[in-house]
Chains A and B, each alone.
Chain A
Amino acid sequence: MSADTASGWPFWTEPLDRGEGIRWKKVGKVFDPTTVNLPVGCLEFAQSPHALKFEDFVRVFFSTRSADSDGGKYRSHIAFVDMDKSFQSVIRVSSNEVIPLGALGTFDEHGIFPMSLLRHGDAIYGYTTGWSRRVSVSVETAIGLAVSHDDGVSFQRAGPGPILAASLHEPFLVGDGFVLLIGDTFHMWYIFGVGWRRYEPEVPADRIYKIGHAVSANGIAWVKDEARQIVPDLLGPEESQALPTVIEIQGRYHMFFCYRQSFDFRANVDRGYRIGHAYSDDLRVWSREDDASLQGTPGDWDSDMQCYPHVFECDGRVFLLYNGNEFGRFGFGLAVLETVMP
Chain B
Amino acid sequence: MFKWEKLGKAFTPQEFPGRPWMSEFAQAPSTLVFDTFVRVYFSCRPPADANGQYVSYAAYVDLDRADLFRIVHIADQPILPLGGLGEFDEFGTYPVSVIRAGNEIRAYYGGWTRCESVPFDVVIGCATSTDGGTTFQKLGNGPVLGLSLEEPFVLSGPKVRYFKDRWYLWYIAGRRWKLVDGRPEPVYKIRAATSADGIGWVPMNLDLIKSRIEDDEAQASPDVTYAGGRYHMFFCYRGSRDYRGKAHGYRIGYASSTDLVTWTRDDALAGIEVSDAGWDAETISYPHVFELDGKVYLAYLGNHVGRYGFGLAVLDGTLG
Q: Which A positions have Cβ atoms within 8 angstroms of B?
A: 102-107, 109-110, 132-137, 140, 142, 145, 158-163, 165-173, 193, 196-198, 205, 207, 220
Give 23 pairs: A residue, B residue, CB < 8 Å, sorted on A: A103-B176, A104-B117, A104-B184, A105-B115, A105-B118, A105-B177, A106-B152, A106-B153, A107-B153, A110-B116, A110-B117, A132-B116, A132-B117, A133-B115, A136-B114, A137-B85, A160-B149, A161-B149, A162-B152, A166-B88, A168-B142, A171-B86, A171-B141
Nearest B residue to A137 via CB reads B86
CB of B142 within 8 A of CB of A167, answer yes
- B residues in contact with A110, CB < 8 Å: 116-117
CB of A169 within 8 A of CB of B184, answer no
Instruction: With both chains docked as a complex, state the minimum distance between the C-beta of B206 and any C-beta of chain A, in angstroms.
Output: 14
Instruction: With both chains docked as a complex, state the minimum distance between the C-beta of B12 and any C-beta of chain A, in angstroms.
Output: 32
Instruction: With both chains docked as a complex, state the minimum distance between the C-beta of B284 and any C-beta of chain A, in angstroms.
Output: 28
Besides A107-B152, A168-B144, 12 other A-B contacts (C-beta < 8 A): A105-B176, A106-B152, A107-B147, A133-B115, A136-B91, A137-B85, A145-B149, A165-B148, A166-B88, A168-B140, A169-B141, A170-B142
Q: How far is the CA of A105 from the CA of B174 in the complex (A)?
A: 10
Q: How far is the CA of A196 from the CA of B113 in the complex (A)?
A: 14
CB of A166 within 8 A of CB of B148, answer no
CB of B146 within 8 A of CB of A105, answer no
- B residues in contact with A103, CB < 8 Å: 176-177
Q: Which of B88, B144, B152 sits near A160, CB closer than 8 Å?
A: B152
Interface majority SS on B: helix, strand, loop or mixed? loop
Q: How far is the CA of A103 from the CA of B141 in the complex (A)?
A: 27
- A residues in contact with B141, CB < 8 Å: 169, 171
Nearest A residue to B91 via CB reads A136
Segment 80-104 of B: residues with Cβ below 8 Å from A: 83-88, 90-91
Number of B interface residues at 8 Å Cβ cutoff, please give it. Answer: 39
CB of B149 within 8 A of CB of A159, answer yes
B199 within 8 A of A: yes
CB of B123 within 8 A of CB of A166, answer yes
B223 within 8 A of A: no
CB of A105 within 8 A of CB of B121, answer yes
Q: Which of B87, B126, B177, B199 sits near A171, CB closer than 8 Å?
A: B87
Instruction: With both chains docked as a complex, state the minimum distance between the C-beta of A167 and any C-beta of chain B, in angstroms.
Output: 5
- A residues in contact with B143, CB < 8 Å: 166-168
Q: How far is the CA of A109 from the CA of B142 in the complex (A)?
A: 21
- B residues in contact with A207, CB < 8 Å: 86
Q: How far is the CA of A211 from the CA of B88 in the complex (A)?
A: 21
- B residues in contact with A193, CB < 8 Å: 86
CB of A198 within 8 A of CB of B149, answer no
Most chain B CB within a 10 A radius of its CB, from A110, A161, A173, A198: A161
